């Protein structure tokens, strides 16, 4: 369960990936991240620039001078930055559940504002509101995005508890399989080493022939 905001390190990771593609400046990074989010989320100016300056101070990124845009502060990734990116990829790779919790958590809050009698949000004259119609549109957009990137949408009939338990069981099985494979590989290597070691049958046979 997430206690606040997006997963830790998300903005730093996105900045590193985008700088690895090519040098960029702060506002350009903001625009790219907004586009990646489908226009629904943009980190603040005050979050991206401190990251860039921190990266520069640590040698993760360096400024790049451009003759055509001398007043803009472009940043490029260094070799140390690529090492940092590799580490961030591992970190973010382990936070998929936290991303899901953020999406689900805010959707549940949205639906609660529309349906829970404890809340009395004003129905302002605006393009958006807390209602069944807008909730359905949000879900529709998520399904369309899923089908665009992953293919046909198939519903999963499982409660959160059941789904998480199944995921945990799958992870445990994968871990057991990896440990077994490592053990088999180690035993095979030990066996090969023993066969080729001095005093083994092949070596003693060769000594006798001499």
pLDDT surpasses 90 at 160: no
| Biggest CA pair distance of the chain | 100
Confidence of residue 66 (pLDDT cuts 50, 70, 90): confident
Query: Higher model confidence: residue 7 or residue 100?
Result: 100
Q: Is residue 68 within 8 Å of 16, Cβ to Cβ?
A: no
Residue 113, token pair as written in the block? 């504002």
* Token pair for 59: 């040698």
Q: What is the mean pLDDT of residues 2-24?
A: 87
Confidence of residue 85 (pLDDT cuts 50, 70, 90): very high
Helix (H, G, I), strand (E, B) or coil at 35: helix
Q: How confident is the model at residue 203 (pLDDT cuts 50, 70, 90)?
A: very low
**Helix runs in the chain, H state only:** 10-21, 26-36, 45-58, 79-93, 96-115, 132-150, 160-196, 201-209
Beta bridge partners of 63: 75
Q: What is the mean pLDDT of residues 146-161?
A: 93
Q: How far is CA 95 from the centre of its chain?
A: 6
For residues 116 and 113, give the distance between their C-alpha atoms in angstroms, rounded to a whole number: 6
| 54 Cβ neighbours under 8 A, 6+ residues apart | 60
Which pLDDT belongs to residue 199? 46
Please state whether 153 falls in left (phi above 0), alpha (psi between -120 and 50) or beta.
beta
pTM: 0.74
pLDDT of 121: 86
- For the chain, the average pLDDT equals 84
pLDDT digits (tens, 9 = 90+) for 113-144: 999 999 988 876 677 889 999 999 999 999 99
Residues 164-193 pLDDT 10s: 898 788 777 776 776 666 666 655 555 555
pLDDT at 69 exceeding the cut of 90: no
Give domain limits for the chain: 10-93, 96-150, 160-197
209 pLDDT band, cuts 50/70/90, is very low
| Dist CA 160 CA 144 (whole Å) | 22
**Is residue 31 a contact partner of residue 39, using CB atoms and an 8 Å limit?**
no
Strand partners, 75: 24, 63
**Which secondary-structure segment (H or E) carries 74?**
strand 74-77
- Count other C-beta atoms under 10 Å from residue 56's C-beta: 16
Which CATH class name applies to 10-93?
mainly alpha
């Amino acid at each position: 369960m997430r206690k606040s905001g997006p997963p830790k390190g998300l903005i730093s990771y996105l900045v590193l990936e985008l700088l690895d593609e090519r040098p960029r400046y702060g506002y350009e990074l903001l625009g790219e991240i907004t586009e990646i989010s489908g226009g629904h989320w943009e980190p603040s100016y005050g979050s991206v620039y401190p990251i860039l300056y921190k990266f520069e101070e640590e040698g993760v990124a360096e400024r790049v001078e451009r003759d055509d845009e001398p007043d803009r502060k472009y940043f490029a990734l260094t070799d140390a930055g690529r090492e940092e990116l590799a580490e961030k990829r591992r970190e973010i790779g382990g936070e998929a559940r936290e991303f899901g919790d953020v999406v689900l958590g805010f959707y549940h809050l949205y639906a609660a504002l529309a349906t829970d009698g404890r809340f009395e949000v004003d129905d302002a004259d605006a393009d958006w509101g807390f209602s069944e119609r807008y909730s359905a549109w949000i879900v529709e957009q998520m399904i369309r995005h899923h089908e665009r990137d992953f293919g046909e949408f198939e519903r999963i009939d499982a409660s959160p508890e059941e789904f998480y338990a199944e995921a945990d069981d799958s992870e445990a099985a994968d871990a057991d399989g990896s440990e077994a494979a490592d053990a088999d590989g180690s035993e095979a290597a030990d066996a090969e080493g023993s066969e080729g070691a001095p005093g083994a049958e092949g070596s003693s046979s060769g000594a006798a022939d001499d």
